[in-house]
Structure 1
Amino acid sequence: MTTSAVSYRPLAGMFWMFAAGLSFVVMTALVKSLGTTMSPIQAAFIRYALGLVFLLPALRSILSTHLTSRHLTLFGLRGIIHAFAVMLWFYAMTQIPLAEVTAMNYMTPVYVTLGAALFLGEPLAFRRIAAILVALVGVAIILRPGIREVSTGHLAMLGTALMLSGSYLLAKLLVRDIPPSVVVAHLSIWVTLALIPFAIAVWQTPTLRDIWVLFLVACFATAGHYFMTLALQAAPVAVTQPVTFLQLIWATLLGALVFHESVDIWVVAGGTLILSAVSFIAWREAVLNRSSLTTPSIAPKL
C-alpha cells in the first residue's frame, strides 16, 4: 500500500500499528485463557461465526458485487486453506507459550515473499533471499531442534504461517477484480462454512463464559485489522512494521505474568531476527518504490 506525501503521517501510522499490535496480543491472550476446556476446532468455528455480525455494515457491498465462477472457486479455496490455518493456530495456543506463537507467526510474510516469487512471478533479488535466510535462522533459534523437543504446537504454528501465506496470496489475486473490503468479508463467510463439518465432529455445548470470551476474540481481531488499516493509510509498511516488535514483548510479559510461562530469551532473539528480516524487505521495496510487489505485512489474520 502506498501513501501519498499529503497523507504521510509517520507518528499516526506508528500509533495505529501500536494499537493494532495491542489488540492482537489481547486476542491471543483471550484464546489462551480458554485453556483446554473446548476443542480448538470448535473454538475457531464459534469465533468466526460470532464475527459474522461485523459484516452487517458491508452487506450491501457483498450482495451487489458481481462474482464469476473463478472468484467463487478462489474464495472457496481460500476459505478452506484459512480454516485449516485457524484450527492449527487455536491448537498451537493450547500447546506452546504466547511468546512462541507470536514469534513464529512472524514467518507468515516470509512465506508470502517466497510464494509471490514462485506463483506470482515476482522477482526474488539477492537481498530478499538473504533476508529470508536470516528469518530461517530465527526459526532455528526458536525451535532449537536437537537441543529441546519440538512439540506438535511448534509444528502447528509452522503450518499456520504457511497456510496464512497461501490465503494472503489468494487474496492478492482476488483484490485485482474485487474491492478489498468485500474480499475480507467473504473470508469470514467462507471460513465459517469450511469449519462447520469439523466443528460438528467435536461439538460440545459451550459455556456462556466460553462464548463471551470468543466474542471478545472476534472484537479484538476486528479492531486489530481496522487499526492496521489506519496505520497503513497513514504511513508505509516500512515505517509501521518495526512497531510490531512490541507484540513479542507484550506476549512475553503476558505469558509470564498471567499464564506463568517462563521467559525464553532465545524465543525473543529468534523473533527479533525474523521481524528484522521482514522489516528489511519492506524497507527495500519502499526505497526502490516497487509498489507492484507483494510487500510483507505482519498480522495474525485470524
Structure 2
Amino acid sequence: MTPDLTLDSRPVAGILWMLAAGLCFVVMTALVKSMGQGMHPIQSAFLRYLFGIVFLLPALRQILSARLTRRHWTIFGVRGAIHSVGVMLWFFAMTQIPLAEVTAMNYLTPVYVSLGAALFLGEKLAARRITAIFVALVGAAIILRPGFREVSPGHLAMLGTTLTLGGSYLLAKVAVDDLSPAVVVAHLSVWVTVAMIPFAVAVWQTPTWHQVAVLFTIACFATAGHYFMTLALKAAPVAVTQPVTFLQLIWATLLGALVFGEGIDPWVIAGGTLILASVSFITWREAVLKRRQITPPSIAPKL
C-alpha cells in the first residue's frame, strides 16, 4: 500500500525543490563551520538570527494583524527560549565535531518530536513507531560509540540541540492549530533573537566586515532553504520528498573531507542512515494511514 498522490501532486518538482533546499542547508552549515574559532558561537548564532529578521519584512502586515491571546504569547516566549538554547548549542557543536556528525545527529530531532507528541499531545504510539524510534536510537549509538571513543562536548551539544529543537517543534505544532505558519515562524525569529541578546553581549567582540558578510550569507541560505522546502512540500507528499534529505549527509561528508580535511567515518554514515530510515518510515506510515502528521515534514536543520 502506498501513500495517495493528489491530482495536484508533482513528485519530480517536489524532489527537485527538496534537493535545492538540502543544498542550501548544507552550504549554510559549511559557512557556519568556516567561521571556526574566529567568533564566539553564541555571537554567531545571535547575528545569524538578527540578520534573518530582514526577511520577515514582506510578511510584516500579516504578522501585525494576527490576533494573539495570552496563551499564544506564552507559547512564543517559551518556544523562543527553548529554541535559542538549541541554536546556541548547534553553533557550538559546529566548532567541535565534523560536518557529517552534525548532520547525522540532527536527524534525531523528528524522533524526539514523535516521542514528545505521544507523551504530551496524546498521539498514539503504535508498535511500528516504537520500533522505528528504537532503530533511530541504535543509529545514534553507532555514531557516538560510547566506550569505544571519546564522546566530546560537541556530541553532547548536538544531543542537546536535537532535544531542544524537538521541544520547539512540538510547541510550533500547538501554535499552528489557530495561527498561520508565517506568523509562527516570524515570532520564532524575533523571540530567539531577543532571548540571545544577553548571551551575545556577554561574549561580544566587534565583528569584521568579512564575518558580517558571511553571517548575512548564512541567513540568506537558511531563508532560501526554508522557502524551497515549502515549495517541495506544496508540490509533493512528505513521504516522497523526505528520503531526498539523505543526500544532505552525503554532501556534508564530502564537504567535510574536501574543504575542511575531515576524515570519512563509515560508522557515522551507517548511523545516520539508520536514523533517517526510521524517520522516513514514520513519515511513510503517517501518509499511508492518512493520520495527522506528527513528524516534522523535513529533517533539515531549521536554524
Shared fold (TM-score, shorter chain, > 0.5): yes
Q: What is the distance in 2 between the residues matched to 1:103 and 1:163?
A: 16
* 1:141 counterpart letter in structure 2: I
* 1:224 counterpart letter in structure 2: G
- Identity, % of aligned pairs? 75
The Cα of 1:179 is off from its aligned counterpart by 0.6
Say whether the 8 Å CA contact 2:99–2:253 is kept in structure 1: yes
**Alignment match, 1:295:** 295
Say whether the 8 Å CA contact 1:3–1:233 is kept in structure 2: no
The Cα of 1:111 is off from its aligned counterpart by 0.3
* 1:294 counterpart letter in structure 2: I
Say whether the 8 Å CA contact 1:3–1:235 is kept in structure 2: no
The Cα of 1:52 is off from its aligned counterpart by 0.6
SS for the counterpart of 1:91 is helix
The Cα of 1:236 is off from its aligned counterpart by 1.2
Q: What is the distance in 2 between the residues matched to 1:273 and 1:101?
A: 15
SS for the counterpart of 1:59 is helix
The Cα of 1:295 is off from its aligned counterpart by 3.1
**1:195-214 matches, cutoff 5 A:** 195-214=196-215
Q: What is the distance in 2 between the residues matched to 1:92 and 1:5?
A: 40
**Residue 130 (structure 1) aligned with residue 131 (structure 2):** yes
Q: What is the distance in 1 between the residues matched to 2:39 and 2:5?
A: 47
Per-residue CA deviation, residues 12-65 of structure 1 (Å, 9 max, x unaligned), is 111111011000000000000000011100000000001110000010011111
Q: What is the distance in 1 between the residues matched to 2:180 and 2:216?
A: 26
**Alignment match, 1:284:** 285
Per-residue CA deviation, residues 213-247 of structure 1 (Å, 9 max, x unaligned), is 11011000001111111111111111111100000
Q: What is the distance in 2 between the residues matched to 1:214 and 1:129?
A: 39
SS for the counterpart of 1:131 is helix
**Alignment match, 2:84:** 83
**Alignment match, 2:269:** 268
SS for the counterpart of 1:160 is helix
**Alignment match, 1:105:** 106
SS for the counterpart of 1:169 is helix
Say whether the 8 Å CA contact 1:238–1:286 is kept in structure 2: yes
Say whether the 8 Å CA contact 1:112–1:165 is kept in structure 2: yes
**Residue 15 (structure 1) aligned with residue 16 (structure 2):** yes
Change in Cα spacing, 1:41 to 1:3, as seen in structure 2 (3 Å) is farther
Change in Cα spacing, 1:3 to 1:301, as seen in structure 2 (3 Å) is farther
Q: What is the distance in 1 between the residues matched to 2:147 and 2:41?
A: 28
Say whether the 8 Å CA contact 2:111–2:295 is kept in structure 1: no
**Alignment match, 1:158:** 159
Q: What is the distance in 2 between the residues matched to 1:299 and 1:168?
A: 13
**Alignment match, 1:146:** 147
Give unmatched runs, 5+ long, in structure 2.
Answer: none
Q: What is the distance in 1 between the residues matched to 2:5 and 2:173?
A: 21
Per-residue CA deviation, residues 75-130 of structure 1 (Å, 9 max, x unaligned), is 01000000000000000000000000000000000000000000000000000000
Aligned residues: 300
Q: Please, what TM-score do these two structures have when normalized by structure 1?
A: 0.98
**Alignment match, 2:26:** 25
Q: What is the distance in 1 between the residues matched to 2:69 and 2:4?
A: 31
Give unmatched runs, 5+ long, in structure 1.
Answer: none
**Alignment match, 2:236:** 235
SS for the counterpart of 2:147 is coil
Deviates more, 1:174-183 or 1:85-94: 174-183
Q: What is the distance in 2 between the residues matched to 1:7 and 1:143?
A: 42
Per-residue CA deviation, residues 240-282 of structure 1 (Å, 9 max, x unaligned), is 1110000000000000000000000100000000000000000
Say whether the 8 Å CA contact 1:122–1:293 is kept in structure 2: no
Per-residue CA deviation, residues 112-163 of structure 1 (Å, 9 max, x unaligned), is 0000000000000000000000000000000000000000000000000000
* 2:183 counterpart letter in structure 1: V
**Residue 95 (structure 1) aligned with residue 57 (structure 2):** no
Say whether the 8 Å CA contact 1:128–1:281 is kept in structure 2: yes
**1:38-77 matches, cutoff 5 A:** 38-77=39-78
Q: What is the distance in 1 between the residues matched to 2:159 and 2:10?
A: 35
Say whether the 8 Å CA contact 1:3–1:234 is kept in structure 2: no
Q: What is the distance in 2 between the residues matched to 1:5 and 1:69?
A: 38
Say whether the 8 Å CA contact 1:31–1:217 is kept in structure 2: yes
